[in-house]
Structure 1
Amino acid sequence: MNEYFADFHIHIGRSYLGRAVKITASNQLTFSNIIEEASERKGLDLIGIIDMHSPEVLEEVDLLIREGVVQELTEGGLRYKQTTVIMGCEVEVRFEAFGCSAHFLVYCPTLTEMKAFSAWLATKVTNPHLSTQRLYASMEELQEQVQLRQAVLIPAHIFTPFKSVYGNCSDSIQKLLDLSQVPAVELGLSSDTEMADRLSELTDQSFVTNSDAHSLAKIGREYQKMRMKACNFKEWKMALWRQEGRQIVANYGLQPKLGKYHLTRCAACSELVSETAGERCPDCGHPQLIQGVFNRLQVIADRPAPLHPAHRPPYIHQVPLEFIPKLGPKTMERLLGQFQTEMNVLHEATEQQLADVVGAALAAAIIKNRQGQMRIASGGGGRYGKVLE
């Protein structure tokens, strides 16, 4: 078995012809730019690119395959240099009985299956070129398509206050879908294993930690280490289901306090609100509170404390290098010039090797980050938390 670093929630901002795909994502997020960034700068072994359903994205992949830049893998997925690409799509499903919508990730094994899923999707959405479209089909229909294509369905950022299964839909995911067909759930940037394992119904699911990147710099801000025999779709799917020794062996994620929706914040005065607050802001009395993930879990958790199943890997709290105080773009370039990729900086370089490049103080901060010991001021209400010096 081998171990691979993987981040499988990266959005496409524009097609190779310049058409918008993910409106809120950077124009620099083209398929070609993503695979280059992930392989050469980030050092990721496996990435999941969302929005692969978009027709012009599929055209670009066909072109790159014909040019020999990208290869299709026999066991599923695409290969660019040393990085494997899993082809994904994000959709929004409406649950009329609950009066809410939530986002879901669908990953297809082959280019043929992604094209077929894209064709089906085009009959169920308003604009097939855009990301995260409202799906005019039921969850049952979506799960049927996933099974038909031997694909994988993962509920996205399950606790965020907007468009997620727990954040704004239900206190139980099983009220929304057939959980037996779902190998994993995506925790999102404002939660971690300690928080999610307070829900007993998630005991059997693998937890995945992904960047949900809307810019090149954000790729790899959360990721996981996966144990597999090879880096392809078949092995990746087996790892999610924890079959024959394949599995996620470590989650690397933001300290939840850094997340934009960790604590509740008042939409009017922007003050963070304590977990014991009522329906109005205690500071200004305004009724519009943006509920935090931490606060939401106090309401829906059926365990007073987390209970980790034997299969649950360690969750290592990490801060993206760009968040570390005094580590600016020029310093980052020096680090990459010496250590090649961010994964090497985060995991391989010794403190002395780092100090030789950026000095003792910054090297100590990077090692402190590696050990999950950074001090954080909490985020909430759409504002990221902050690393304290």
Structure 2
Amino acid sequence: MYIADLHIHSRYSMATSKDCTPEQLDLWARRKGIGILGTGDFTHPAWREELKEKLIPAEEGLYVLKAEYRLEGENTSDTLIPRFVVSGEISSIYKKNGRTRKVHSLLLLPGLETAEKLSGKLETVGNIRSDGRPILGLDCHGLLEMMLETDPRAVYIPAHIWTPHFSLFGACSGFDSIEECFEDLTPHIHTLETGLSSDPSMIWGISALDRFQLISSSDAHSPAKLGREASLLNMELSFDGLSRALTTGRGLMGTIEFFPEEGKYHHDGHRKCGICFSPAEAEQHSGKCPVCGGNLTMGVSHRIMQLSDREEGFVLPQGKPFESLVPLPEVIAACLGYSAASKKVQNQYFELLRGLGSEFEILREVPPEDIRRISDPLIAEGVSRLRQGKVKRIPGYDGEYGIIKLFDPDEV
């Protein structure tokens, strides 16, 4: 079984950490327990050159970091060697059917040679050198067509499909159906990325999406954020094996999700005025902010409700299982009463990795009594509650992350 995080970014994307290098991505993948990692940003020429320099081919279509670049540390797995698959996100902004559309797409390619060829074609459309996630005036149909012409084995995945401003189904600039976006090329779309503000159970309410495989990824802008969402794969270790699992579901075992309320677009709201509404509350106010009178940003839960044709709580018989988790530093922070970035929390985080294994092993598998033996008993209790879903959820809205609480203040 491999944990895969296919949608990430390099340091060449806007608002990303300078630590998003192949060395640091490999290091943090080992800390997290991630076996397959997207490279991100294949369109950026400098990043491609760095990947060519620092990666070597492993299995067909997959790469590993060269040994001389591997960062050794006491907080990493000795046996896990993460595989890289060439990936990148592209932002398409264009007009269709009388509206401006803003859609982000995740592309997975069978190798750096394909990345070179496709990037050459994309450079004739727009600027791919200023940002690792380029903004192009190329519609999604044209992007998919160009990708298939370059290499029909490549995989096109609409990214974080519900994000209000930049996604396939986004309330502000998206479409109401996949067919409206991709037209005759719709049969080439097999897989959708859920995004942080939704999980598969929410999407199961829309029968038109039953045929699509659902994956999750972190969309990480720093190495420490890898794996905040991920996919579980039981597959032959190769690009074709990965493609088969993602497009047919054979080998896609499920996903690791945020609690969707923690995503920053779960509910409707207006961040400037501090207004957060459920879909029903937003409709009572006709989608307007009661403080300033401006439009509320429609959240993911409301947008999904608009398109749903099934009763809430419907379970898709063939739907893949999923787990809702919180990153381990956030669990530790909730238990110790400090911020996740504090030195106390970071020290405890690395102490747990040293003693018990990768972050995903600790969150998903390590017995609570083992956690209790080397750390604060509250952390063991926090992990137990997390596994059971015994959390308090305060929804995010309009770009503001939600909060998942494991303890009441008086308990801590």
How high is the TM-score relative to the length of structure 1?
Answer: 0.90
Q: Deviations over 1:249-290 (max 9, x none)?
A: 121101101110100112441121231223354641522312
Residues 1:127 and 1:71: Cα distance change in structure 2 (over 3 Å): closer
One-letter identity of the residue aligned with 2:180: K
Deviation at residue 95 of structure 1 after TM alignment? 4.0
Q: Secondary structure at the match of 2:61?
A: coil
One-letter identity of the residue aligned with 1:359: D
Deviation at residue 303 of structure 1 after TM alignment? 2.4
Deviation at residue 183 of structure 1 after TM alignment? 1.9
| Counterpart residue number, 1:226 | 233
* Stretches of structure 1 lacking an aligned partner (at least 5 in a row): 14-20, 65-69
Moved more, 152-161 or 288-297: 288-297
Q: Secondary structure at the match of 1:349?
A: coil
Please give the alpha-carbon distance, in whole angstroms, between the structure 2 residues aligned to 1:226 and 1:135. 32
The partner residue of 2:269 within 259, 265, 268 is: 265
Q: Secondary structure at the match of 2:26?
A: helix
How high is the TM-score relative to the length of structure 2?
Answer: 0.85
* Stretches of structure 2 lacking an aligned partner (at least 5 in a row): 66-79, 337-344, 408-412
Residues 1:268 and 1:36: Cα distance change in structure 2 (over 3 Å): closer
The partner residue of 1:342 within 359, 363, 373 is: 359
| Counterpart residue number, 1:195 | 202
- Equivalent residues, number: 371
Please give the alpha-carbon distance, in whole angstroms, between the structure 2 residues aligned to 1:175 and 1:216. 36
Please give the alpha-carbon distance, in whole angstroms, between the structure 1 residues aligned to 2:363 and 2:15. 28
One-letter identity of the residue aligned with 2:261: K
Native 8 Å contact 2:10 2:21 kept in 1: yes
Please give the alpha-carbon distance, in whole angstroms, between the structure 1 residues aligned to 2:35 and 2:159. 21
Please give the alpha-carbon distance, in whole angstroms, between the structure 2 residues aligned to 1:350 and 1:24. 38
| Counterpart residue number, 1:182 | 189
Native 8 Å contact 2:289 2:295 kept in 1: no
Q: Secondary structure at the match of 2:350?
A: helix
One-letter identity of the residue aligned with 2:154: A
The partner residue of 1:49 within 20, 28, 39 is: 39
The partner residue of 1:210 within 217, 229, 245 is: 217
Please give the alpha-carbon distance, in whole angstroms, between the structure 2 residues aligned to 1:137 and 1:262. 28
Please give the alpha-carbon distance, in whole angstroms, between the structure 2 residues aligned to 1:30 and 1:172. 37
Deviation at residue 306 of structure 1 after TM alignment? 5.3
Q: Deviations over 1:197-230 (max 9, x none)?
A: 11222111110111110111110001121111x3
Residues 1:265 and 1:152: Cα distance change in structure 2 (over 3 Å): same
| Counterpart residue number, 2:260 | 256
Residues 1:303 and 1:95: Cα distance change in structure 2 (over 3 Å): farther
Q: Secondary structure at the match of 1:115?
A: helix
Q: Secondary structure at the match of 2:6?
A: strand
| Counterpart residue number, 2:68 | none
| Counterpart residue number, 1:35 | 26
Q: Deviations over 1:134-181 (max 9, x none)?
A: 223333322122223121000001001111111131221220013311
Q: Deviations over 1:71-129 (max 9, x none)?
A: 21342121236111111111122341232211001111111111111211222222434
The partner residue of 1:170 within 175, 183, 186 is: 175
Q: Secondary structure at the match of 1:384?
A: coil
Pairwise mapping of residues 1-389 of structure 1 onto structure 2 (< 5 A)? 3-13=1-11, 21-39=12-30, 41-64=31-54, 70-80=55-65, 82-97=81-96, 98-148=99-149, 149=151, 150-167=153-170, 168=172, 169-177=174-182, 178-228=185-235, 230-242=236-248, 246-276=250-280, 277=282, 278-281=285-288, 283-305=290-312, 307-324=314-331, 325-326=334-335, 328-388=345-405, 389=407
Native 8 Å contact 1:55 1:129 kept in 2: no
Native 8 Å contact 1:52 1:114 kept in 2: yes
Please give the alpha-carbon distance, in whole angstroms, between the structure 1 residues aligned to 2:195 and 2:356. 29
- Computed over aligned residues only, the root mean square deviation of the Cα atoms, in angstroms, reads 1.8
| Counterpart residue number, 2:340 | none
Native 8 Å contact 1:161 1:292 kept in 2: yes
Native 8 Å contact 2:43 2:128 kept in 1: no
Q: Secondary structure at the match of 1:89?
A: strand
Q: Secondary structure at the match of 2:318?
A: coil
Native 8 Å contact 1:263 1:379 kept in 2: yes
Native 8 Å contact 2:217 2:230 kept in 1: yes
| Counterpart residue number, 1:67 | none
Name the % identity: 27
Residues 1:90 and 1:171: Cα distance change in structure 2 (over 3 Å): same
Please give the alpha-carbon distance, in whole angstroms, between the structure 1 residues aligned to 2:50 and 2:94. 34
